[in-house]
Structure 1
């Protein structure tokens, strides 16, 4: 892997760290990293303007038509059309970025490495900043809401939880330990609600899967008890 590509991967993976300081820095860094990757892979990669699946394309274009109609009828059409432009750009960039990562495992692994480091750095900075501003480190803790990183915590919460999906290690428990006090000090209720609902959905999913497995087990158990089990076995293997 060339050094230029490594720099591009670094910009993409570390871009969200700049979100803590300035949204413009974040956007510029992310776009520079993405488009430099597209340029470096131009011989192997073709920029697509549609999805590969026909049904997805139909849904996408139907959504655009509805957006255009609503924008025309909007009180401020110019502002609505700007939102549509950002939406289209976001979708197209994500389609092609996903395609690039699927076809380039080396870049994917390096971006994930930088992303993991960036996420841990982000939650660490937020955690200690909130502790300092709350007076906890000086022994004069107050319950006053720390608002500086409250908005950023929405996306940081998702990233911290995603860490365990990239690699199962006890080390990723530390970012979680930093996350919950930060949410409490910042009075960020939306991420907590999202985590709570996510846990409920996971419990429901595993419960349904357990019922399915139990039904399959009972079916084969009853089948083995049946006097015609040899007949069923022969029929299923034909």
Structure 2
């Protein structure tokens, strides 16, 4: 198998391009992620065992290679030890996902994101020491559940139950400067940005006054942020 010289193959003494990512598994998740990275200006090495998948992304990604990622020697030939970031997007073949991830972890250098299709799969990846375990269906399900309730326009959850939500300002936060309302002390959240109707997002200040037709971004613990978003808007 030929080496990918563009990414400084093993033995050159160089590292992969700083803004380069290897994506292993070009299914719906991995392929979409790889294309989004390319669109944002990140150079992508796409790897997949399926020839049809490889052909489908040829010319759309910086480099695409058909390869068996479960073999350590193949990963070395493709310069994976030189990458700073690798995404394992293999989904349905759990064994291949685990083997690929365990091989990558031996290299020490890459920061690894790995997709899990179930809780047991996620537990195994976490036990192996994967830096970031991605559970698209699980995470999207939780996010959509919050949106379906109708009080939030968008919802992002971080670690330790901390979230950012996009919502409308409740009546208690309207028509007076934020600096005199004591939102953080009273409700345990912070209004970090506001978007006026027809305008753009702007950072809030103590002098910012919110109105009923604004959209706001609220940051704080999940329970407090949800409670704040459920307050009457008028």
TM-score range, shorter chain: under 0.3
Instruction: Provide TM-score, normalisation by structure 1.
Output: 0.26
Q: Which has the larger radius of gyration?
A: 1
Instruction: Provide TM-score, normalisation by structure 2.
Output: 0.26
Task: Name the one with the larger strand percent.
Answer: 2
Higher relative CO (CA 8 A, sep ≥ 6), structure 1 or 2?
A: 1
